[in-house]
């Protein structure tokens, strides 16, 4: 009988990986103990001794030795919806779900053509806007100034990506124009905006721009900030895309030219798909950063989810419970960012098929 | 447009790279159905010359006329000429993010406005001709060099061009794969395709070419029918080149 390879059993593997000699064993025991201690503390604080119900607030305040999740129970609507009017918060909730749904659906390859993706986003954004803003179908109007919490965070993220990505593509294409005056001008614009802090760009668009723009162009502060943020996003993403394009061998465009394909066909079918694939890891990175930096809009007075969280413990009743609120908000950030990262990893696997 | 007997007519053409005079006063006329082999030492400008014919490279003086269309700065003319000339590259240049079939149907659908069904039919026809229809759903990275180059030929043929340009099609291949590509080129020649080939395959030149053009230092030094070219070269530079590549 031929010998076959057998997987070593678990005890053998554990011994080989963690207890192979005296140093190894010592280190395993020390770090194992530390890890177990940390984990035990976390569980006993976060689960075993935790206070869950808002009615037990007094128990928290006098110290139960555990986490006071009661604050979330009591204040979750403020954290999730910010200043949005209390009776109307169901609208903000549904709007959130809609936004998550369209972002989720646009990750499905079936939607990856111009018609389907634009139909999806137009409908999705339409529903989101009508729900949030109201004024139609008997919904009470709620102005942008009162939007807040998770739906505002998602709205800013989605809109910035949606406006910023096409802008980034245009910037990247202008940046590699064959006409030097175009590529150089674009280069100066990109470098200038990249050298400014995001905070100052948001501030400029929110506060300074109204003084220089004609009144019909001003719009709501929220949209000006989103536009400024999109511009900032586009400048970074344009450089990421340019890197992806530079990694393409010159032969790719030449082959497309030799087949008689026009400039836009070459860009749309040959250059951009491969540039995006080359630039996928930094692009996902850029999205993650963009999602997290939405929290900066607090400086011009918007209560996105982090600011709403601050407000949730910012009164005498709950002011001892900031750790719990931050942990909760961190969990929400984590869910979104982790999903983004996993999606990036899925895309890389999917594209690797065509790569070898 | 008056009827044309020539496929390509290059007259008094010059090209520079900066101050370097890359092509000097090139005059070359290629009849329809003619097969030309261009050879010469490396750096002699033969690839540059063939790449000027579909304007992958600019030229700076003289004129090029392809199938009655003047190759100038007019983008419509350039597109017209590129539609009618297929090109095969040294490094294949297949699109790695598309399957073999998609590589072959993309340009016919976008440029010739063929329907998907029509384009796929044509593609499978030509893939059968280059003897790899069974690879249609694979990606270029999953094929050998010889297979990739045959796909590249099929891709160019799917546009049903009048002229085929070959830019050192076998130079990047492992030796055992050269003949499978040359076989495809020979059968293409037998069908009467107008072909311009930059190649070092002298056996192919002797078997297929109507005319061999020898270039050195950016000039056409000698052109002759293959028998005359190989057996009785007139110019000293031709003799030196031939003795170098055939001498051992």
The 10s digit of each residue's pLDDT in B63-106 is 999 988 888 888 888 988 999 999 999 999 999 999 999 999 99
CB nearest A258 (choices: B54, B95, B110): B54
Helix A180-194 / helix A221-246 crossing angle, nearest 10 deg: 120
Give bridge partners of residue B36 from the DSSP assignment: B196, B211
Give the end-to-end CA distance of chain A in Å, rounded to a whole number. Answer: 37
What is the pairing mode between strands B35-39 and B194-198? Answer: parallel
- Separation CA B224–CA A46 (nearest Å): 89
**Mind telling me how many Å the CA of B91 is from chain A's nearest CA?**
8
Question: What does the angle CA A333 – CA A339 – CA A345 come to, to the nearest 5 degrees?
Answer: 135
- pLDDT by residue (tens digit) across A70-92? 777 777 777 788 777 777 778 88
Beta strand pairing status for B194-198 and B163-167?
parallel
| Average confidence score pLDDT of chain B | 90
Asked if B183 and B132 touch (Cβ cutoff 8 Å), the reply is no
Q: Partners of B164 in the beta sheet?
A: B86, B195
Please give the structure tokens belonging to residue B117.
């069904």
Q: Which residues pair with B68 in a beta bridge?
A: none
Q: Of B91, B107, B139, which has the smallest distance from its Cβ to A259's Cβ? A: B107
How far, in whole angstroms, is CA A206 from its chain's centroid? 22
Angle, CA B23 vertex, CA B21 and CA B25 arms, to 5°: 105
pLDDT digits (tens, 9 = 90+) for B17-39: 988 999 999 999 999 999 999 99
User: Hey, are the CB atoms on A255 and B95 less than 8 Å from each other?
Assistant: yes
What does the block give as tokens for B165?
């340009």
Could you report the per-residue pLDDT of A189-245, keeping only the tens digit for each? 999 999 999 888 888 888 888 787 777 777 778 888 899 999 999 999 999 999 999
Segment B101-127 mean pLDDT: 93
On whether any CB of chain B is under 8 Å from the CB of A278, the answer is no
Question: Cβ–Cβ of A252/B95 closer than 8 Å?
Answer: yes
Cβ separation A251–B91 shorter than 8 A = yes
The pLDDT of residue B98 is: 92
CB pairs under 8 A between A and B: 73
Quick one: which of A38, A46, A42, A40 has its CA closest to A69?
A46
Question: Does residue A36 carry a pLDDT above 80?
Answer: yes
Nearest Cβ partner for A356 among B85, B142, B159: B142
The per-residue pLDDT for B8 is 92
Contact call for residues A321 and A71 (beta carbons, < 8 A)? yes
Rg (alpha carbons) of chain A, rounded to whole number: 26
Å from A353 to nearest chain B CA? 8
Contacting residues of A for B89, CB less than 8 Å apart: 251, 254-255, 258
Work out the minimum CA distance from B87 to partner chain A, whole angstroms.
Answer: 6
Read off the pLDDT band of A354 (50, 70, 90): low
Name the helix (H) or strand (E) containing B48: helix B46-53
How much is the mean pLDDT over chain A? Answer: 84
For B97, nearest residue in chain A (alpha carbons): A354
Measured N-to-C along each axis, helices A114-133 and A89-105 cross at an angle, to the nearest 10 degrees, of 170
| Helices assigned H by DSSP within chain A | 10-18, 22-43, 57-61, 70-81, 89-105, 114-133, 149-175, 180-194, 198-203, 209-212, 221-246, 250-258, 263-265, 272-278, 280-293, 305-313, 322-352
The tens digit of pLDDT for each residue in B130-166 reads: 888 898 999 999 999 999 999 999 999 999 999 999 9
For range A64-69, the mean pLDDT: 72
Determine, for residues A261 and B110 on separate chains, whether the beta-carbon distance falls below 8 Å: yes
Q: Please indicate whether, in this complex, the C-beta atoms of B156 and A259 are within 8 angstroms of each other.
A: yes
Contact A258 B87 (CB under 8 A): yes
Window 97-156 of A, Cβ < 8 Å to B: none
CB contact under 8 A, B159 and A273: no
pLDDT at residue A64 is higher than 90: no
A85 φ/ψ angles, rounded to the nearest 5 degrees? -55, 135
pLDDT at residue number A1:
55
Chain B residue with CA closest to A352: the answer is B97
Q: How far apart are CA B76 and CA B82, in angstroms?
A: 10
Beta strands B69-70 and B61-66: pairing type? antiparallel
Higher pLDDT, A256 or A151: A256
Tokens 């202008």 belong to A174
Cross-chain CB nearest to A356 (options B93, B98, B141): B141
Q: Which tokens belong to A110?
A: 């079936």
The partner residue sitting opposite B107, judged by closest CB among A260, A277, A355, is A260
Q: Do B139 and A260 touch (CB under 8 A)?
A: no
- Residues of chain A found within 8 Å of residue B96, distances taken between Cβ atoms: 274, 354-355
Task: Give B58 to chain A, closest Cα distance, Å.
Answer: 13
Tell me which residue in A260, A265, A356 faces B83 most closely, judged by beta carbons. A260
CB B70 within 8 A of CB B13: no
pLDDT value of residue B1: 44
pLDDT number for residue A183:
92
Q: What is the structure's pLDDT at A355?
A: 56
User: Contact B89/A255, CB-based, under 8 Å?
Assistant: yes
pLDDT tens-place string over residues A275-330: 988 888 898 889 999 988 888 888 877 777 787 777 777 777 777 777 778 888 88
Per-residue pLDDT, averaged over A38-43, amounts to 90
Using left for φ > 0, alpha for ψ between -120 and 50, and beta otherwise, residue A257 falls in alpha
Whether A254 and B79 lie within 8 Å, measured CB to CB? no
A270 contact residues in B (CB cutoff 8 A)? 95
Quote the CA–CA distance of B13 and A210 in Å, as a whole number: 59
Which DSSP helix (H) or strand (E) runs through B147? helix B145-158
DSSP 8-state class, residue A271: I
- pLDDT at residue A68 in the model: 76
Residue A123 makes CB contacts below 8 A (sequence gap 6+) with: A102
Q: Which residues of A touch B141 (CB under 8 A)?
A: 354-356
Partner-chain contact B89 A254, CB within 8 Å: yes
pTM recorded for the entire structure: 0.84
Would you call B111 and A255 a contact, using CB atoms and an 8 Å cutoff?
no
Instruction: Tell me how close the Cα of A86 comes to any Cα of chain B, in angstroms.
Output: 51
CA–CA dist A336, A329 (Å, integer): 11
Q: Pick the closest to residue A229 from A262, A270, A201 (CA basis).
A: A201
């Amino acid at each position: 009988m031929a010998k076959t390879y057998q997987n070593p059993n678990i005890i053998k593997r554990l011994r080989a990986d963690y207890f192979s000699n005296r140093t190894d064993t010592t280190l395993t025991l020390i770090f194992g103990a530390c890890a177990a201690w940390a984990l035990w503390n976390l569980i006993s604080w976060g689960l075993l001794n935790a206070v869950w119900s808002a009615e037990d607030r007094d128990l928290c305040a006098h110290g139960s030795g555990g986490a006071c999740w009661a604050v979330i129970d009591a204040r979750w609507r403020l954290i999730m919806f910010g200043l949005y009017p209390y009776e109307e918060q169901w609208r903000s909730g549904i709007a959130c779900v809609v936004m998550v749904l369209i972002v989720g659906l646009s990750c499905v390859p079936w939607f990856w053509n111009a018609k389907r993706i634009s139909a999806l986003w137009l409908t999705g954004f339409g529903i989101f806007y009508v729900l949030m803003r109201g004024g139609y179908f008997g919904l009470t109007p709620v102005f942008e100034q009162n939007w807040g919490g998770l739906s505002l965070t998602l709205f800013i993220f989605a809109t910035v990506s949606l406006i910023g990505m096409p802008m980034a593509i245009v910037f990247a294409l202008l940046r590699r124009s064959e006409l030097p005056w175009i590529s150089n001008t674009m280069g100066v614009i990109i470098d200038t905006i990249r050298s400014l802090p995001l905070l100052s760009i948001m501030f400029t668009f929110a506060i300074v721009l109204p003084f220089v723009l004609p009144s019909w162009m001003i719009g709501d502060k929220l949209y000006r900030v989103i536009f400024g943020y999109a511009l900032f996003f586009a400048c970074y993403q344009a450089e990421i895309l340019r890197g992806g394009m530079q990694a393409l061998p010159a032969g790719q465009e030449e082959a497309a030219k030799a087949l008689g394909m026009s400039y836009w066909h070459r860009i749309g079918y040959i250059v951009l798909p491969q540039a995006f694939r080359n630039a996928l890891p930094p692009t996902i990175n850029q999205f993650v950063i963009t999602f997290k930096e939405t929290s900066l809009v607090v400086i011009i007075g918007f209560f996105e989810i982090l600011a709403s969280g601050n407000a949730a413990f910012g009164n005498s009743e709950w002011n001892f419970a900031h750790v719990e609120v931050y942990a909760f908000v961190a969990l929400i950030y984590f869910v979104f960012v982790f999903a983004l990262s996993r999606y990036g990893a899925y895309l890389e696997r999917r594209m690797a098929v065509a790569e070898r | 447009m008056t009827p044309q007997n020539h496929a390509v007519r290059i007259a008094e053409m010059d090209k520079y790279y900066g101050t370097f005079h890359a092509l000097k006063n090139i005059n070359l006329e290629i009849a329809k159905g003619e097969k030309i082999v261009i050879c010469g030492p490396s750096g002699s400008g033969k690839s540059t010359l063939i790449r000027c014919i579909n304007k992958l490279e600019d030229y700076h003086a003289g004129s090029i006329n392809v199938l009655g269309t003047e190759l100038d700065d007019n983008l419509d003319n350039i597109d017209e000429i590129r539609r009618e000339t297929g090109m095969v590259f040294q490094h294949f240049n297949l699109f790695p993010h598309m399957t073999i079939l998609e590589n072959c149907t993309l340009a016919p659908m976008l440029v010739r406005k063929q329907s998907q069904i029509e384009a796929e039919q044509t593609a499978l026809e030509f893939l059968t001709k280059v003897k790899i229809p069974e690879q249609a759903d694979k990606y270029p990275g999953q094929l050998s060099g010889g297979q990739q180059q045959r796909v590249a030929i099929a891709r160019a043929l799917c546009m049903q061009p009048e002229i085929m340009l070959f830019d050192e099609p076998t130079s990047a291949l492992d030796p055992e794969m050269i003949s499978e590509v040359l076989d495809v080129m020979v059968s293409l020649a037998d069908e009467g395709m107008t072909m311009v080939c930059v190649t070092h395959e002298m056996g192919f030149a002797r078997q297929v070419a109507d005319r061999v053009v020898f270039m050195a230092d950016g000039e056409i030094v000698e052109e002759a029918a293959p028998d005359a070219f190989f057996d009785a070269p007139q110019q000293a530079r031709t003799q030196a080149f031939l003795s170098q590549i055939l001498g051992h």
